[in-house]
Chains A and B, each alone.
Chain A
Amino acid sequence: MLTRLARGSLTNRLFAVSLTIFTIAISIALLVLVEQMRNQVREGFQRSVSGVDLIVGAPTAPVQLLLYSVFGLGDATANVTWTTYEELSKARTVDWAVPISLGDSHQGYRVIGTTAEFFERYRFAGGQTLSFADGETWTDLFDVVIGAQVARQLDYELGDRLELAHGAGNVSLMTHAGQPFTVRGILAPTGTPIDQSLYVSLEAHHAIHIGWERGVPRPGSGLTPEEARAAEAELQPDAVTAIFLGLTTRAAVFGLQQRINDYPNEALLAVLPGIALQQLWRITGLAERILLVVAGLVVLAGLLGMLTALLTTLNERRREMAILRACGARPVQIAALLLLEAFLITLAGLVLGVLLAYGLQIAAAPWLLAQFGIAIGAAWPDATLLLVLAGIGVAGVLVALIPAALVYRRTLADGMQVRQ
């Protein structure tokens, strides 16, 4: 019965109430977005690095090594020698070692030189292997395997020919013209940076860089594709950018990490991807907390907006209260009516806010995927978030205790009469 009255009263003030609900909805949406994105982005990063026990590169910050080797963010400052790669791959506890060489790009997408073993060894999303949506791994020296997103965005099919550019980024001044690659395989989507990458063999990567020792091509020094193919057996790089290691037993990981970090022949850094990610989260954690606090304050502002809206209506509603009193309503019932209205407003704000957040999330997903190779989905809010949302619902009612108490006192004083 009270519900019907509350609903009627709210509908009567539809415009003002809608604004209040919308204010709350926006604040809720912000909170949900901050929290959801945080979890989703973390999950997105997490799913990109499963299966790799150690990442080895030149000494730098662990987070930086992780970011450039796995996520294509930032650049390597130095390389690891081929000798070191060979030694590491023969180490007792090492099951497999996959080197990668960075430095080229194609239309803004990263080109990675690696071995065919990469496609077998790499794992994502907790153990899934890479698979080819179309085609296969390289057969010719100048073959390229492309990620799902690259194929989709640039509309490439098997057999298409493309040229690589020297250097990363969207604008490349130098191209490896004259050494075109043929699309030989297209990987199935993974929701990881793999989708945004092109893969060539280490030999090809080396071949196109012969004569580029100083960063620019020495005139007349480059190999033609035919020369390169003829010399394929000798195309061995001197250095790689980083090495992904898989161990025979995970228990060996800390021992090996220690040994690599103390490597006598070359300064090296080995990181555990999970731990490097944790460091990354520690860096971003402060910003996240600030965002959460801001979002929390915005929610508070939303609720205070509702309080203001409720308080300003009290005077014009005194007549309403007097009528209800005359019909036998108790002051408690009239106060409850107000609490109920506040609850309905908060509830509507919560529902609308969550929907808004999901809408934005779905809208932002393609951008995040394109920008960072992170696949986010509109996941069901986790328990913590649900608890927070429920808490906001309660807070809405608590805030309304103020006008409810005022109404209670006022209806007692007014009786059936509106005494100004």
Chain B
Amino acid sequence: MTDAASVAPLLELADLHYTWPGASVPVFGGLDLRVDPGEAVFLAGASGSGKSTLLALIGGLIAPDAGRIDFAGTRLDALKRAQRDRFRAEHLGVIFQQFNLLPWLDPVANVLLGCRFSKRRGKRAGDREAEAARLLAAMGIDEAGFARRADQLSVGQQQRVAAARALIGRPDLVLADEPTSALDRDRRDDFLDLLFGEVRQAGSALLFVSHDRELVDRFDRVIELSDLKTGSAPC
């Protein structure tokens, strides 16, 4: 990114230190990372390289021991826990590897969870039910799928519902933690097509964690987690 300086970054991590409570070896010993608004970033790293810890830090579920997390002008590291939760509810969408949904809710109700815990995000979504239905349709869930419980959907459909939930209310950043690893190749490509389409339309940035390097061409930028300034022995 040659013109990086001209755009204010969406997310900036600087000199981040983190050690899990009780662990002797730090996960991060001075990590720097930057994501610009609307940017799609591929974060590559073997499992156990600290990806989940990084996502938890960005999501505000844990606070760094030292260093700075700037998110759209807010110092995440300086917020209290409840404020970080509110911040996450408002600005972030999260997609896990699998089991993203509350099994006993239908897809629409699952998508609505994405804007349940933040009033502002709910307002941004507008008519929430309609927006949830629109997103689901855009992610290729047909009407028949709407009536089912989430656990009656195929894994591929579940991941799409999860993407719709992450995207409702147009969050600034979507965190995706290996969302395609449970999908076969065809489903994976379908999923990514739909995900990218909707992420672009929402104007969200995407931080996509995966070890599947076949996907890197779709992204604006690829970051190797091991290249970042991490601790001496990641766990």
Contacts from A to B (Cβ < 8 Å): 1, 5, 8-9, 11-12, 319-320, 322-333, 415-417
Stretch of B82-90, B183-191, B210-218 with 4 or more beta carbons under 8 angstroms from chain A? B82-90
Interface of A is mostly: helix
What would 15 more interface pairs be, CB under 8 Å, given A9-B102, A328-B92?
A: A5-B102, A8-B109, A11-B104, A12-B104, A323-B99, A323-B100, A326-B94, A328-B85, A328-B116, A330-B117, A333-B117, A415-B61, A416-B59, A417-B52, A417-B56
Do B56 and A8 touch across chains, with their CB atoms under 8 A apart?
no
Total A-B pairs, Cβ < 8 A: 68
Residues of chain A within 8 A of B104, CB atoms compared: 8-9, 11-12
Closest to B177 in A: A416
Q: Is the CB of B85 within 8 A of A329?
A: yes
The answer to whether the Cβ of B105 comes within 8 Å of any Cβ in the partner chain is yes
Residues of A within 8 A of B82 (CB): 330, 332
Whether B61 lies near A416 (C-beta < 8 A) is: yes
Per-residue contact bits, chain B 54-71, to A (CB 8 Å; 1 contact, 0 not)? 011001011000000000
> Considering the chains assembled together, what is the distance between the CA atoms of A417 and B98 in angstroms?
11
- Closest 3 pairs between A and B when the two form their complex, measured CB to CB: A328-B89, A12-B104, A415-B61
Q: Which residue of B lies closest to A325 (CB)?
A: B61
> Which B residues form the contact surface with A (CB < 8 A)?
52, 55-56, 59, 61-62, 81-82, 85-86, 88-90, 92, 94, 96, 99-105, 109, 113-114, 116-118, 165
Give complex CA distance A183, B82 in Å. Answer: 84
Tell me which residues across on chain B come within 8 A of A319, comparing CB atoms: 99
Distance of A121 from chain B, by nearest CB (Å): 69
Interface centre among B81, B89, B90, B116, by most chain A C-beta atoms within 10 angstroms, is: B116
Of B55, B56, B117, the residue contacting A327 (CB under 8 A) is: B117
Whether A327 and B116, one on each chain, are in contact in the complex, defined by CB atoms closer than 8 angstroms, is: yes
CB distance from B25 to the nearest CB of A (A): 17
Which partner residue on chain B sits nearest A327 by CB separation? B113
Complex CA gap A329/B103 in Å reads 17
Closest to B82 in A: A330
Indicate whether A327 sits within 8 Å of B165 (C-beta atoms), given known contacts A8-B105, A12-B103. yes
Q: Which residues of B lie under 8 Å from residue A322 when comparing CB positions?
A: 96
Chain A positions within 8 Å of B86 at CB level: 328, 330
Distance to closest chain B CB from A188 (angstroms)? 58
Q: Closest A residue to B101 by CB, please name it.
A: A323
Contact A416:B102 (CB < 8 A) given known A323-B113, A328-B89, A329-B85: no
- Contact between B85 and A326, CB atoms less than 8 A apart: no
List chain A residues, Cβ under 8 A from B96. Answer: 322-323, 326, 416
A326 and B105 alpha carbons, distance in the complex (Å): 16
Known: A323-B100, A416-B61. A328 touches B105 (CB 8 A): no
Nearest neighbor of B61 in chain A, beta-carbon distance: A415
Residue of A nearest to B56 (CB): A415
Q: A415 touches which one: B62, B100, B116 (CB < 8 A)?
A: B62
Q: Which residues in B have their C-beta under 8 angstroms from that of A325?
A: 61, 85
CB contacts (< 8 Å) of B116 on chain A: these are 1, 327-329
Among the listed A326, A328, A416, A417, which residue makes an inter-chain contact with B118, where contact means beta carbons less than 8 Å apart?
A: A328
Could you jot down 16 A-B contacts, CB within 8 Å?
A8-B109, A9-B102, A319-B99, A322-B96, A323-B96, A323-B102, A323-B113, A324-B102, A326-B96, A327-B114, A328-B92, A328-B117, A329-B117, A415-B59, A415-B62, A416-B96
Chain A's closest residue to B62 (CB) is A415
By a CB distance below 8 angstroms, the chain B residues around A327 are: 89, 94, 113-114, 116-117, 165
Shortest beta-carbon distance from B85 to chain A in Å: 4
Name, among A5, A329, A416, the residue most crowded by chain B CB atoms within 10 Å (CB to CB). A416
* B131 → A minimal CB distance (Å): 15
Considering the chains assembled together, what is the distance between the CA atoms of A12 and B92 in angstroms?
28
Tell me which residues across on chain B come within 8 A of A328, comparing CB atoms: 85-86, 88-90, 92, 116-118
Interchain CA distance A359-B71 in the complex, whole Å:
62
| Residue among A9, A323, A417 with max Cβ neighbours from chain B (10 Å) | A323
- Which of chain A's residues has its CB closest to B162's CB? A323
Chain A residues whose C-beta falls within 8 Å of the C-beta of B56 in the assembled complex: 415-417
Across-interface contacts of B103 in A (CB, < 8 A):
12
Closest chain A residue, CB of each to CB of B106: A8
Q: Which residues of B contact A9 (CB under 8 A)?
A: 102, 104
| Residues of A with C-beta under 8 A to B89 | 327-329
Name which of B56, B81, B104, B118 has the most chain A CB atoms within 10 A of its CB. B104
Q: CB-CB < 8 A to B90: which residues of A?
A: 328
B59 & A326 in contact (Cβ 8 Å cutoff): yes
Partner of A324, one of B52, B55, B59, B113: B113
Q: Chain A nearest CB: distance from B102 CB in Å?
A: 6
A320 to B99, CA, bound (A): 9
Instruction: Specify which chain B residues have a CB less than 8 angstroms from the CB of A415 in the assembled complex.
Output: 56, 59, 61-62
Bound complex: CA A329 to CA B118 (Å): 9
A11 CA to B118 CA, complexed, in Å: 26
Q: Can you name the residue of chain B whose Cβ is closest to the Cβ of A10?
A: B104
Closest CB in chain B relative to A204 CB, distance in Å: 76
Please name the residue on chain B nearest to A332 by beta carbon. Answer: B82
Q: Which residues of B contact A333 (CB under 8 A)?
A: 117
Contact B85 A330 (CB under 8 A): yes
Distance in angstroms from A292 CB to nearest chain B CB is 40
Nearest-neighbor residue (CB-CB) of A13 within chain B: B104
Instruction: Name the distance in Å between B180's Cβ and chain A's nearest Cβ.
Output: 18
Q: Which residues of chain B have C-beta atoms less than 8 A from A5's C-beta?
A: 102
Q: How far is the CA of A324 from the CA of B112 in the complex (A)?
A: 11
Which residues in B have their C-beta under 8 angstroms from that of A1? 116
CA of A5 to CA of B103, assembled, Å? 12
Query: In the complex, how many angstroms separate the beta carbon of B112 from the nearest chain A beta carbon?
Result: 10
A331 to B88, CA, bound (A): 13
